[in-house]
Chain A
């Protein structure tokens, strides 16, 4: 595949790995967090750890949309399907996220809930148009990448005057999650830098990361999701560390600039406002870290339409997803990993999506810890 294979070239990877090996200082260690699940997936799938010297360690961060979804939000979606009889639409990975009472959306579907996996939120609007006698709810999750399409769907529904379409909005923001890691977990983690998000940064640009570089003195290198992107970003982080710099650099310049996609940002601002607080799985309740529909669009807000209360639910006692999402533990450190908790029967959300740290390690890398 043209324009993709070039970023997966094994020969270039070996040269980059040799360059990294020659640039690291053997006397010190390098601990970098990749924020995004997309990077976690690439690191596991392409075996990028095999290319790194022993003193360079990658720590998985919380940037996997389904991983940070708390049980209480999945419960709300299940209640909509089972108690309110709506057609509930969502993206595929959401279906297996564990919820209360040993349920998930997949199991709620087997109990009779009308739950549909869709590829685009425009499909949910189309479903609402085709089923005027049914309420259709789009369970909207994800970071800044998936938020603008949801805004478009809501505006489209408003333009069409659809009275049977609404959104259960669980869109979250990247910068508050990074700040939470910096404020909370870093005493234990002692990170030396961040691999910054790829697709999220195409929307928000590189500017929002600048405070992390200045305030916390941590280098940030924004990287694409291809394996050579990740290796190159690691090399750039190592150089910053070696030179004592803490700057925002952009490896993914073919898609990201400092300002991001202003049109998408304007759309998000038009349709959504910030919630005062939002519960994340693993990170706790973070202020101004998620979005809800503005008052003008309240008619399309499923929480409003169905008077859904939010009830927080504690995670499974043995599950270490919280520590894993904050980078404090590795998947194989959790006693449930690979025994009680597997991709077929996930106990925690990190075992669900292939972008989740546990599922990525289980699926691609568990032979190394076996």
Chain B
């Protein structure tokens, strides 16, 4: 669950969910405002509790011994199952490790639940599970329990995987989307949009070829280096579905602040920029699976940037903007062209089934 309750001031913007006649549509899964509304008005309304209300990528939970755990869960429905740079298996491992790690926790264990469609070639399943095993081994986070269900042909799409992760949170570490403050710096750990465009290129109906590969990676090693740098970090988040724009809008809403990005500072690789231009997509809304957004005190921005760039996953890190006071909670961007514009929530679904 990565959305909090909507502040009263924002509620007027939305028409309530139509529980009588409405149906789930694809926009409810796109990571944008429609999904935030579904979570707020349906899931949080029925399931709400103090831990769910934290509204971050993972929940921080007390243990009887006085320590703290972080728990996060993530379902993976990506299509195609195999794509340049990865597959649904390693993605399911990386995605959940990252959701635990961005809370500042050390990821320890994973569970994996499989929904398999009748007819899925066993060879494909074996490739996927071997890829999960390799990803878990490399990350040092074992998969310790699991579940398997099979549905009839046509009721699924090959395989869906849900993973849950548990980690421990050291004392004094508190990162949350609610902690961004005016004046803070916004950093990103590398190029934007690689995962989404790799999936796009992998889809046969588009008929375009590109050298773009997914950035899917476990980020807990990079995050450990950032924590060790001593920089005063307030927020860590991985900008997955809905891309950087959606993640920053979530944080702006949680913290009740505005943000100003500098378009010239955004790291975007030339092939991704070209593919987005060609397809009419905005890289700010395209998913990443191995990138980190960090918000820290302005004075520590250089220190954090250096720590990022010293890690193999952060070579192309950049300071991309800053936080400012704005009761309207707008994320804005100074364009390279010289104007200013809003970088809004994603509407609809640019790319369904991206992760």
Q: A residues touching B (Cβ–Cβ < 8 Å)? A: 1, 4, 8-10, 13-14, 44-48, 50-51, 92, 95-96, 102, 106-107, 109-111, 118-119, 123, 126, 227, 338-340, 342-345, 359, 362-367, 370
When C-beta atoms are compared, the residue in chain A nearest to B346 turns out to be A343
19 A/B residue pairs, CB under 8 Å, sorted by A? A10-B335, A13-B337, A45-B335, A46-B337, A46-B341, A47-B339, A47-B341, A50-B338, A50-B340, A51-B338, A106-B25, A106-B26, A110-B25, A119-B279, A227-B337, A343-B348, A359-B347, A363-B347, A364-B342
Query: In the complex, are the beta carbons of A10 and B337 less than 8 A apart?
Result: yes
Q: In the complex the two chains form, what is the Cα distance from A345 to B32 in whole Å?
A: 13
Query: In the complex, are the beta carbons of B339 and A51 less than 8 A apart?
Result: yes
In B302-355, which residues have CB < 8 Å from any A CB? Answer: 328, 330, 332, 335-342, 344, 347-348
Given contacts A106-B348, A123-B205, 16 further A-B contacts (CB under 8 A): A45-B341, A46-B339, A46-B341, A95-B348, A102-B21, A110-B24, A118-B205, A338-B13, A339-B13, A342-B33, A343-B348, A344-B37, A362-B344, A364-B342, A364-B344, A367-B342
Closest 3 A/B residue pairs (Cβ): A47-B339, A110-B23, A343-B347
Query: In the complex, are the beta carbons of B341 and A107 less than 8 A apart?
Result: no
Query: In the complex, are the beta carbons of A344 and B14 less than 8 A apart?
Result: yes
Q: In the complex the two chains form, what is the Cα distance from A96 to B350 in whole Å?
A: 13
B274 on the interface (CB 8 Å rule)? yes
Q: B residues touching A (Cβ–Cβ < 8 Å)? A: 12-15, 21, 23-27, 32-34, 37, 205-206, 270, 273-274, 277, 279, 328, 330, 332, 335-342, 344, 347-348
Query: In the complex, are the beta carbons of B342 and A10 less than 8 A apart?
Result: no
Query: In the complex, are the beta carbons of B339 and A50 less than 8 A apart?
Result: yes
Query: In the complex, are the beta carbons of B335 and A47 less than 8 A apart?
Result: yes
Q: In the complex the two chains form, what is the Cα distance from A365 to B339 in whole Å?
A: 11
Interface core residue of A106, A111, A118, A340 (most chain B CB under 10 Å): A106
When C-beta atoms are compared, the residue in chain A nearest to B338 turns out to be A10
A157 to chain B, nearest CB (A): 18
What residues of chain A lie closer than 8 Å to B328, measured between beta carbons? 367, 370
What residues of chain A lie closer than 8 Å to B330, measured between beta carbons? 367, 370
Query: In the complex, are the beta carbons of A13 and B14 less than 8 A apart?
Result: no
What residues of chain B lie closer than 8 Å to A46, measured between beta carbons? 335, 337, 339, 341
B288 to chain A, nearest CB (A): 20
CB-CB under 8 A for A363 and B342, given A339-B12, A345-B15: yes
Q: In the complex the two chains form, what is the Cα distance from A107 to B12 in whole Å?
A: 23
What residues of chain A lie closer than 8 Å to B339, measured between beta carbons? 46-48, 50-51
Q: In the complex the two chains form, what is the Cα distance from A9 to B263 in whole Å?
A: 13
Query: In the complex, are the beta carbons of A111 and B348 less than 8 A apart?
Result: no
Query: In the complex, are the beta carbons of B342 and A366 less than 8 A apart?
Result: yes
What residues of chain A lie closer than 8 Å to B337, measured between beta carbons? 8-10, 13, 46-47, 227
Q: In the complex the two chains form, what is the Cα distance from A329 to B339 in whole Å?
A: 24
Query: In the complex, are the beta carbons of A365 and B25 less than 8 A apart?
Result: no
CB-CB under 8 A for A47 and B340, given A118-B205, A339-B12, A343-B347: yes
B172 to chain A, nearest CB (A): 37
B156 to chain A, nearest CB (A): 18
Interface core residue of B27, B33, B335 (most chain A CB under 10 Å): B335
Interface core residue of B15, B37, B270, B332 (most chain A CB under 10 Å): B15
What residues of chain B lie closer than 8 Å to A345, measured between beta carbons? 14-15
What residues of chain A lie closer than 8 Å to B344, measured between beta carbons? 362-364
What residues of chain A lie closer than 8 Å to B33, measured between beta carbons? 342, 344
What residues of chain A lie closer than 8 Å to B23, measured between beta carbons? 107, 110-111
CB-CB under 8 A for A109 and B25, given A10-B336, A46-B335: yes
When C-beta atoms are compared, the residue in chain A nearest to B344 turns out to be A363
